[in-house]
Amino acid sequence: MKKWLIPLIIVVVIAFGLYQWAVGFNNTAVQYEADAKTAWANVESTYQRRNDLIGNLVKTVQGAADFERGTLTDVIEARAKATSTTIDANNISAEQLAEFQQAQTGLSSALSRLLVTVERYPELKANQNFLELQSQLEGTENRINVARDRYNEKVNIYDIHITKFPGKILAGWFGFEDMPRYQADPGAENVPEVNFEFD
């Protein structure tokens, strides 16, 4: 056997091993990234369900002739802003996520004010359609929280994969970048102040 053949075989085996490692890293990163994007799509889908329910809730509340129009207008405007704020799952940035979250928080706030205002309207509180929508909204809020948690879990798996050494080197070559996580609303860590006022 020729002397140059053994080093050539060693080089070929090492090159093949490196190729297999790079392909394996890339394919796993692609899978994890796709899982995170799917999880984000599920977050958006759950928010869309909430927006649809809010639309039906607004129609029901509009039927109460003397209901405060300003409160209703706030919800309608916040819903319009929330539905117009979208994120491209292929290019999720921290800034886009913050903007999306801010719009959704604005809608949540307006909706909370609406539901508090409804307490002064016995005919709405007794309306079966309204009660059903309110119940579905509560369930949807729980779904939103679960969907956001699942998105963060998938992003975490992906980010760990592309930032651990030596995969970090390949991530740069293949163009994989960190994905932002869904953060709690600013001030969410503070305990809310509750005041009970009695007439």
pLDDT in tens, the chain (199 residues): 577 788 888 889 999 999 998 999 999 999 999 999 999 999 999 999 999 998 888 888 877 656 677 888 888 899 899 888 888 888 888 888 889 999 999 999 988 888 888 888 787 777 888 888 888 999 999 999 999 999 999 999 999 999 998 889 889 888 899 999 988 766 554 444 434 343 4
Q: Three-state SS across 78-134?
A: HHHHHHHCCCCHHHCCHHHHHHHHHHHHHHHHHHHHHHHHHCCCHHHHCCHHHHHHH
In a domain, 188, yes or no: no
- Burial class of residue 47 (count of CB atoms within 10 Å of its CB; 0-12, 13-18, 19+): buried
In a domain, residue 104? The reply is yes
Question: Tokens at residue 138, please?
Answer: 């509560």
Kindly state the tokens that stand for 100: 């999306």
Helix, strand or coil, per DSSP, at residue 34: helix
Domain limits at 31? Answer: 5-174
pLDDT at 127: 82
Task: CATH number of the domain at 145, please.
Answer: 1.20.1440.20
What is the pLDDT, as a whole number, of residue 176? 92
9 within some domain: yes
In the chain, how many domains are there?
A: 1
- Kindly state the DSSP code that residue 164 receives in the 8-state scheme: S
Domain-embedded: residue 88: yes
| Residue 179 belongs to a domain | no
**Residue 75 counted as domain residue:** yes
Does residue 115 fall inside a structural domain?
yes
In Å, how far are 60, 71, 120, 134 from 113, measured between CA atoms? 16, 7, 12, 13
Q: What pLDDT score was predicted for residue 186?
A: 63
pLDDT (0 to 100) of residue 67 = 65
Tokens of 95: 């800034």
Tokens representing residue 85 in the block: 């704020």
**How many Cβ atoms sit within 10 Å of the Cβ of residue 14?**
10
Q: Is residue 77 part of a domain?
A: yes
The pLDDT of residue 65 is: 53
Q: How many whole angstroms separate alpha carbon 149 and alpha carbon 100? A: 16
The residue type found at 10 is: I
